[in-house]
A and B are shown apart, each in its own frame.
Chain A
Amino acid sequence: MKRKMQMALSLMLALVFVFVTACSSSNTEGGKNTTTPETTNATNEQPAEPMTIRFATGNNPNWDDMQSDIGKFIKEKTGITIKPEFPVGGSSDEMLALMIASDEYPDLVIPGGATNKMVDAGALIDLRPLIEEHAPNIKKVYGEYYNRLRWSKDDDAIYTLSLTGVDHTYFDSGSGFQLQHQVLEAAGYPEIKTVKDYEAAIKAYIEKNPKTADGQPNIGLSLNGGEWQILISVTNPAFYATGAPDNGEFFINEDTYEAIMHYQRPEEREYFRWLNHMNDIGLLDPESFIQKYDQYKAKIASGRVLGLIDQNWDYGQAENALKAEGKFGSTYARFPVTLNETYQDHSFQGTGYLPALGIAITKDAQDPVRLIKFLDYLASDEGQVLLNWGIEGKHYNVVDGKRVIPADLLEQKTNDNNTFVKTTGIGNYNISARYGDGVKDPSGNYYTTTFPEQIQAAYSEEDKKTLAAYGATTYKDLWPSDDSFPERKYGAAWTLPFEATSEANVIFQKTQDIMKKRIPEAILAKPEDFDKVYDQFLKDLEDAGVAKMNQEFTKMVKDRVELWSK
């Protein structure tokens, strides 16, 4: 017994030592490595002295650890190695909150939902002077929208560089309601405009094919409602389907800028009633609200979920797995489905440039000037082409003055995107200001790889067949055109966060907890109980002080309109 104890102890000690030395060696890595990497490009004037930057960001399962082609290129060119810090499960908000609590930060962060808190805590430095002095490319990219980066009415500092593409044109739609191609084919490509059409298509298919080819039961409709994506998959579609644009948890009256929580609209009650009905007739996956994201993706990847209501970026990974297996019939087509024909999907109502999710330099950064120069390089024409297209001759060729992705890479990119991202690094380094889709560089090529021809080329045969049946070339064509609705003067209200420690923010948090409980409850209730639960939901919101919060939010929207129309 005693000897065992000793052995266990020494083992533990040994482990601790290994751990400690491992940590310290990786820390000094940047300093020890004095061999200057070869600079492949002579135009680069920055000293390529090696430097490791720590970078807190959301989860990226395809992160390549600088080992991809682009990763290596960036390391060689700028000498910078990025060491990301990912959150453990879920969103990065907890990780960032803990950083604030300990008052220690990495060099770069994407603060996302915690931007407010970090600014409050004085964790982020004002980038405006740095940009003015060292970053002409960044300034050029934002152009006329540069001032939209301003923090608030009283504070003209720039704390985050928005990562959303500037002058972005949407060529494709990743949202809406999804149906498997095989379901559409079996039904002879019927019109899918309202939830009734959508329901009928699923119902017809599942009655004929209760099981998949390999004997597993088919699932009519599964929602990603067990984690934070309940917002994406359950509650946001409620306003899309009832003709309102995405303003986060709010509905904004376009004339008076009066804000209410969107659940308070009577139209949306009817949308949830429809989901309740789907559950009642057994088409809704009963696990919709308790499944974890992994379970959800596993179900999709098994090819037995006929319909989804989600965003492409959320279910895309699972769909990629289907593509890699060649099960194209089980991949999804997307439709702008509404509650009934009187509504139009407002997904693409214009907002002007929306500074949203951004990157920030923290007060603990070792060398802010070097960092902003690094970000500036990524924002340069050369940098943007590198990040989006890759390396010439390797990831694309210039044919007749046009950039073309070789066929084998394109095939991998479409059908095995996860591997593609991991090996090439394309898509992993979009951490600076950049242009959106549809913007052309001086050579007349698009900056990004998303443009109409490319999108169509990337569609699978199944996609093309389905689109042809509906007389469209992209899914976007099924949506109302961009100019069908007037531009929103406040941008989109989901980019407006409450002040971190304000009372309204506490109320907001409470309403979110209430919503996450009551909405699933209402949907899973017996149809005759639905109204009772929904009334209780609205009453709970009232009790939590929703009126006060709406009032506060209305004021914020009005302030934004004033600030931006200057």
Chain B
Amino acid sequence: MKPLTEGPPKAGVTLKRNRFWFKAFQQRYLYMMSLPFVVWIFIFSYVPVWGWLTAFQNYKPKDSIFDQKWVGFENFIELFQDERFYIVLRNTLAMSTMGLIVGFTVPVIFALLLNEMKGQFFKRSVQTISYLPHFVSWVVVAGLVYKMLSTDGGAVNQLLMWLNIIDQPIQFMAKGNLFWGIVTASDLWKEMGWNSIIFLAAMAGIDPELYEASTVDGAGRFRKMWHITLPGIRTTFMVLFILSIGHLISIGFEKQFLLGNPLVSDFSEVLDLYALKYGIQMGRYSYGTAIGIFNSVVSILLVFIANGIYKRVTKESII
């Protein structure tokens, strides 16, 4: 990003340089304030990257990284030849895409509706109640989901039976084709309220005069939502959306690990779980690192592609 304060280009490199140092000196307190964060990011995000070297070795923790056996691309070749890898890649992308779509549309709609509420007390209460599940750990959520969907007195099955929609309890957790849906739905339940907070905040920042003006022009509620509220949160939405696309491939494994079971493993195993199982858990750190590198490269590509598309459409860039 170009610094906003930069003036028109000056002649001569030295002059420009001097101006830079002059500016830097002027803003030295700002620089000093940002320094800790730069150091922090450097230490935790850049220093560990040299560990990527292990992906090209047959790494054994006993020896230092310089005494290892180098194996070239062997780990990557093995990774790309394993058919299991493509299954887990499919699962990862499927679940994260589903999560992305549902995880953005529903909170936005929820925030829109909540924003239209009049009673402050009611609005606040609903908001608080809806984001509370965010603080519940996945371990507990998985337990709840299992209990709810159990064939042995689970609430969902009992409801469906009572409504006469089904006459035999359904084994929800044993059906691979339902697994993605279950994960997405439980994720939605847990994170909907939390994710809508930021949209509500963005909506609160929209200039009320816009609404007043449109009322004068005779706009109804839906017109206002469509023409003022939604465009008002567009930037926030896009920033979050593009950043999430970057995380598409690294969705973690808690949900899948806790909700999955051997019967649905063809649908529940995700990349991180695969890296844990066939990498770290077996002491194959190099293999695990290779998967990690693949993850990072794909993530970076995804972010740039998403940003590129956004830029082309709106002539704005967020990176």
Contact = CB atoms under 8 A, between A and B. Distances in A.
A502 B139 CA distance: 33
A287 B261 CA distance: 11
A383 B22 CA distance: 75
B6 to A, nearest CB: 32
B61 interface: yes
B194 interface: no
Interface stretch (A92-100, A384-392, A430-438): A92-100
A288 to B, nearest CB: 10
Interface stretch (A16-24, A26-34, A147-155, A515-523): A515-523
B60 interface: yes
Contacts of B150: 287, 295
Interface stretch (A52-60, A116-124, A128-136, A327-335): A116-124
B62 interface: yes
Contacts of A295: 146-147, 150
Contact of A509 (B171, B204, B263, B282): B282
A244 interface: no
Interface stretch (B30-38, B273-281, B310-318): B273-281
B285 A101 contact: yes
A521 B171 CA distance: 13
Given A103-B61, A122-B61, A501-B58, A117 B283 contact: yes
Nearest to B204: A1
B280 A97 contact: yes
Interface in B265-319: 265-266, 276-278, 280-285
Contacts of B276: 94
A524 B61 contact: no
B277 A100 contact: no
Given A97-B280, A98-B280, A121-B61, A287 B262 contact: no
B145 to A, nearest CB: 11
Contact of A516 (B60, B62, B265, B284): B265
B151 A287 contact: yes
A292 interface: yes
Give the residue among B150, B151, B263, B278 with the most A Cβ atoms within 10 A.
B263
A517 B262 contact: yes
B143 A292 contact: yes
Q: A interface, how many residues as a size bin?
A: 35 or more
A303 to B, nearest CB: 14
A84 B261 CA distance: 29
B265 A517 contact: yes
A98 B278 CA distance: 13
A174 B84 CA distance: 38
B86 to A, nearest CB: 15
B29 to A, nearest CB: 22
Contacts of B171: 286-287, 290
Interface string B83-109: 010000000000000000000000000
Nearest to A217: B152
Given A290-B174, A292-B143, A513-B265, A501 B61 contact: no
Contacts of A414: none
A123 B61 CA distance: 9
A89 interface: yes
Contacts of B174: 286, 289-290, 524
A423 interface: no
B214 to A, nearest CB: 25
A352 interface: no
A230 interface: yes
A225 B285 CA distance: 30
B173 interface: yes
Contacts of A1: 204
A294 interface: yes
Contact of A292 (B58, B60, B146, B152): B146
Interface in B124-144: 139, 143
Contacts of B284: 500-501, 506
Q: Which of B143, B151, B152, B277 has most A Cβ within 10 Å?
A: B152
Contacts of B277: 509, 513
Given A290-B171, A290-B173, A120 B261 contact: no
A500 B262 contact: no
A480 interface: no
Interface in B160-181: 171, 173-174
B21 to A, nearest CB: 35
A299 interface: yes
A368 interface: no
Interface in A272-295: 285-287, 289-292, 294-295
Contacts of B84: 510, 513
A292 B266 CA distance: 19
Contacts of B278: 506, 509
A62 interface: no
B156 to A, nearest CB: 14
A539 to B, nearest CB: 14
B281 A517 contact: no
A292 B143 CA distance: 9
Contacts of A517: 262-263, 265-266
A226 interface: yes
B139 A516 contact: no
A113 to B, nearest CB: 9
A482 to B, nearest CB: 35
Nearest to A90: B257
A435 B283 CA distance: 33
8 contacts: A121-B62, A123-B61, A285-B152, A286-B174, A299-B152, A501-B283, A506-B278, A524-B263
The 10 tightest CB contacts between A and B, nearest first, are: A516-B262, A122-B62, A121-B61, A117-B283, A500-B283, A290-B173, A290-B261, A97-B280, A97-B281, A290-B174
Interface of A: 1, 89, 93-94, 97-98, 100-101, 103, 116-117, 120-123, 219, 225-226, 230, 285-287, 289-292, 294-295, 299, 500-501, 505-506, 509-510, 513, 516-517, 520-521, 524
Given A97-B280, A506-B284, A520-B263, 7 more contacts: A94-B280, A97-B283, A123-B61, A285-B152, A290-B174, A517-B262, A521-B263
